[in-house]
Every structure is written in C-alpha cells, then in structure tokens.
Structure 1
Amino acid sequence: MDTFALVVTIGVAFFFTYTNGFHDSANAIATSVSTRALTPRAALLMAAVMNLAGAFMGSGVAKTVSEGVIETPGGDSTGGSGGGMAILFAALVGAITWNMITWYFGLPSSSSHALFGGLVGAALAGGIAVYWSGVVEKIVIPMFLSPLVGMLLGYLVMLGLMWAFRRANPSRAKRGFRIAQTVSAAAMALGHGIQDAQKTMGVVVMALTIADVQDHNGIPLWVKIASAGMLSLGTYAGGWRIMRTLGRRIIELDPPQGFAAETTASSVMYTASYLFHAPISTTHVTTSAIMGVGATKRFSAVRWGVAKNIVMGWFVTMPAAAGVAALCYGALVLVTG
C-alpha cells in the first residue's frame, strides 16, 4: 500500500507540473505573441525547450519547497508514511483544483502559491508543523515584494529604452525589438523552468523521503528529467485563455514594451532563484512588469480594472488552495479510516 501511495502521489505531482506548464506558458510568450514577434506555436516550442533547460539549472528552490515550508509528513503524528503521503496528495489536489478553476476563467493566478497553499492547508488538517517563518520569509514577503519590484523595474526599464531610442526611426526600432523579443522571451522561459520545475522536484523528494526511498540530500536525475519533461509538455499544450489576458486585456503591447516586460521579469526570476532561493510566482512578476511598462505610455493605458481582478486572485489563491487541500485530506481520512 505504501508503494502504491508513493506511485500515485508522484504521478499526481507530475500532473500538477503539467497543469503548471499550460497554466503558466502565457508568462513566457504572451507578450511575444501579442506583439507578433513570434507565432504562437513557435513561441510555445521555444518556451518548452527553454523550460526543459531551466529545470536543470540549480536546486535551491527545490530545497526550499521540500524543507522550508512544512515538516516532512510521516511518523506517528500522521499515521505513518501512508498518512504522510495522504497529506502530500491532498496538497497537490488542492493546487491542481485551483489551477483548473483559474485557467477556466482565464485568470493568471500563481501555480506556485496554489501549491504552497495546498501544502499549508493539508499540513494543518493533518496535524503536522508548518514552518511559519519559512512561509513568511520565502513565500509571503516575496509574494508582495516581487510584483512591486517587477512593476517599478518595468517602468524604469521602459523609460530607459524610450530615452535611449528617442531619436530612432519608430518603424525600424519596432522591427529590431521584435527580433530582440525572441531572446527576452527565451530568457523568460528559462527562468520559468528554473523556478517552477524545481517546485515539483521538491514535492517528489518529500514523497521519496516519506517512503524511506531516500533522504533530503540531492534530487535524483530521473526526478529532474520527469519534472522538466512534464513542465515542457504542459507548456507546449498552451494556455490560450490566460495568454489573452496577459497579452491583450491588461494593455495593448508593442515590441519595445514586450521586450522591456520580458527582460524585467526574467531578471527578477534569476535574482530570486540564485540569490535568495525564493520560490516566487512567475505569474506575479510577469503581470506586474507588464503593468509597469504600460504605465509609461500613460497611466490610463493600463486597464486597471482587469489588473485589480488579477491582483485579487493573487490574494485568494493560497487560502483557496489550502481550503481544498484540507477538505481533500479530511475526505481521505474518512474513506481510508
């Protein structure tokens, strides 16, 4: 039974990664597609390849997920490894459920914070420790700080580009930035792989630890390959509903603005991954960078009503996923006795 629970939980973790891929594919390519720098399929293929590459670049975020959010479930407090596995399973179901709801409504919420909300909700329901200091320092503070940094940097980067190219021929500059967007979009996709593939790796390492297959030291190669592959497959499947929201509904982007937003967001992701090992939301950073870039055109150019609904979704994501995860864990306890 423990082996079966392990296999099922890992399978669900990889399915979460797949939903993460198609839910968040818009982060990397929405601006490039909306400015016609790349065709949708070419953009998705590029994003899938770069996600795959990014998954192998570091493990700091994975360690934060596997060791810094909740106590590794297991032991008497959770009914042995089976109970511990049920906590992880419920956490993933909570995250997947919220991903599917927000995807259906085209709302670019955070798959990362859905996962963290699921972990916290299932942990509380299962009676294991939540490392609140880690939650605050590595999740909550970056959740508020990274969008503010993204918006400010996006605004400043766009101002800098406007000044640097103030005497350039507008048509020629736009063509040049359309080409440059292929690079900035690739950088975005690489950052997405560095961040989001590692989050699933951390959960799978927790499952292997609960089952006494390994300890926390290191991430097996097959886990990296499977996580990267599922994220890439999900990315290639595409998230067209969310892509429309990011690419068109917040602001009509032109190539220079798209380049500025992508460059800003990818810079924030690399900094968070390598300097702070903080699992930030790629969705939050991308959306806020687009808002900051758009505000340089004129403040009213940003559709703040749409932006407000997106930001509200950010606040709801963690408690909503936590609630679903807690209910799922309760149902599992009732069914399994």
Structure 2
Amino acid sequence: MEPLLIVLIVLSLIFDFLNGVHDSSNIVATIISSRSLSPRLALALTAIAEFCGPFLFGVAVAKTIGSEIIPPDLMTLPVLLAALTGAILWNLATWYLGIPSSSSHALIGGLIGAVMAGVGAGAIRMAGLTKVFVALFLSPILGLLVGFLFTRLVYFLARGASMKINWFFKKAQVLTGMGLALSHGANDAQKTMGIITLGLVTTGYIKSFEVPTWVIAASAGAIAFGTSVGGWSLIKTLGAKFFCIRPVHGFCTQVASASVILGAALLGGPVSTTQVVS
C-alpha cells in the first residue's frame, strides 16, 4: 500500500471522527435537554448505535460519493487529499467556534472544488451531482414537514392525557435517539467509506468499487469514537440556547429526523444531519 494511500485513509478517518464529534450534539442534545438521560450515558449509547448503523443499512451513500460524482478512473490521490483537507479544516474551525455546521456540505464542496482544480469541471458527472444536491436540498425541508405533521399527530393522539405522559416520552426518547444515531451512522460513515474505497480503486488496490468490510468497520469505529468524545459546546448551543425542549418535542424531532436520514441512506442520498435535525 503506497504512502499517499495510507495518508488518505488516516485523513478520511480523522474526518469521520470529527464528523462524529461535530454531529453528536445533533443526536443527543434533545435527550439531554429534556433530561431523558445523563450526558455521559446518552453519548455512550449513541456511540454504540452509531457503530452498528453502517453494518445494517448497506453502502448506497458510499457508492454515490465514491463512484457517481467523479469517475474513479479519473481521480487522483492528491485531489482526494485536497478535498479531505479542506473539509477537515472547516470542521475544526466550526467545532472550535461552537458553530453547528454540515460535514456533508464541507466534504461535497471540497470534493467538487478539488476536482475542478485538479482534473477539470468536465470530469464531474452531472447526474450524480444532481442526486447529491437534491438530497441536500430536500432533506431539511422534508425534516421540517415530517416533524410538523408528526408532532401534530402526537398532540392529537395525546389530547386530554395527564402530565404523566411526559414519563412515556422520556423513556421513548431513549429508543428514538438510538434510532437517530443508527441512521446518522448509516448515512455519515458511508461518506468516509466512499472516499477510502475511491482511493483504493484509484491506486489499483481493488479492481472495482466494492466497499471492503475493514473499511466499513474502520469508518464505523471512527464516527462512533467521535460521537463518544462529543461536542459539548455544540450540545449547549443546540440543546439550550435555541429551544426549550420538552420530552414530546425531543421524541417527535428524533422520529422525524431518523426517518428522513435513514430513508436517504437507503436511497444513496448524502444528507446533513445538522440541517435535518435543526
């Protein structure tokens, strides 16, 4: 395995780790702010679910990132390294400043910019790029609509209920939170899988775009570890400064977000967890 490929794999896993750190707040902020779980337990359970997600829901997003935007035979390792470096620097800057930001947008933007500079705009497959843009654009809108409609349905079904129903929503939030973590791992870890596998194809290490099991395991482990480390300043921003979250709100948010993110993962659409949840 050539040195540049090793560097690419390491940088990809660093990006994956930072993605987990950056997005951990999106997964656990509602659970913590509604006091369904303690911060440490919420992060630990989320990390476990994040690790399992990539193994359960296929590699459709990885194939979109790694083979449908840019033809693998036109890609070079320096271009991939430039794309990753830009995405990592953006993630580090926004993490340091406590600004919620999309790792997906950073990676897609870095990849397109690097390809245009290093290979040429003609190398970009418009069908694949359109698929990505549609997923990124529609997912927050769908999140808003599903969240609104599901919340109205829950309020209708729970009309006349006593305050004890909050106990149910607190307990249910643990399950829905794990479902959201599963969907996040399934969608976001696949972006790293796509980059690593693209690098393996580019260097001839593998002949066709088939994600190896060790790439799935490494990507799942990196994003799970990042989630366990957590972004405490982002948790504070999303969970306390923006909204006064009750258990019912957290429950509805997680169900709606998990549905949209998991649906996108199964269809091969990379989405922004930050935008869908917010």
TM-score between the two structures when normalised by the length of structure 2: 0.95
Which residue is 1:19 aligned to? 18
Structure 2 counterpart SS, 1:56: helix
Cα distance change of structure 1 residues 217 and 72 upon mapping to structure 2, 3 Å threshold = closer
Q: Distance in 2 between matches of 1:216 and 1:16?
A: 24
**Which residue of structure 2 lines up, in the alignment, with residue 302 of structure 1?**
none
1:146 alignment partner, one of 121, 132, 139 = 139
Aligned to 1:297: none
Unaligned regions of 5+ residues in structure 2, if any? none
Structure 1 stretches of 5 or more lacking a match? 79-83, 288-337
Provide, for residues 38-62 of structure 1, a one-character-per-residue CA deviation record: whole Å limited to 9, x for no partner.
1111011111100100011211111
Residues 1:91 and 1:73: Cα distance change in structure 2 (over 3 Å): farther
Deviation sequence 1:263-318 (CA, Å, 0-9, x none): 000011121111x211111111111xxxxxxxxxxxxxxxxxxxxxxxxxxxxxxx
State the secondary structure of the residue aligned to 2:12.
helix
Which residue does the alignment assign to 2:7?
A: 8
CA RMSD of aligned residues (A): 1.3
* CA displacement 1:5-40 (0-9 Å, x = unmatched): 111111111111010110111121110011110111
1:285 matched to 2:276? The reply is yes
User: Counterpart in 1 of 2:168?
Assistant: 176
Say whether 1:207 aligns with 2:204: no
Indicate the percent of aligned positions where both proteins have the same amino acid. Answer: 40
> Partner amino acid for 1:61?
V
Partners of 1:206 and 1:216 within 8 A in 2: no
Matches within 5 A, 1:70-89: 70-72=70-72, 74=74, 84-89=76-81
Select 2:236's aligned residue among 241, 244, 267: 244
Structure 1 length-normalised TM: 0.79
Computing the radius of gyration from Cα coordinates, the structure with the larger value is 1
Contact 1:205 1:216 in 2 (8 A): no
Output aligned runs, 1:1-337, within 5 Å: 3-57=2-56, 58-72=58-72, 74=74, 84-128=76-120, 129-136=123-130, 138-170=131-163, 172-274=164-266, 276-287=267-278
Q: Provide the aligned length of Structure 1 versus Structure 2.
A: 275
Give every structure 1 segment of 4 or more consecutive aligned residues whose post-TM-superposition deviation is greater than 6 Å: none
Higher relative contact order (CA 8 A, sep 6+): 2
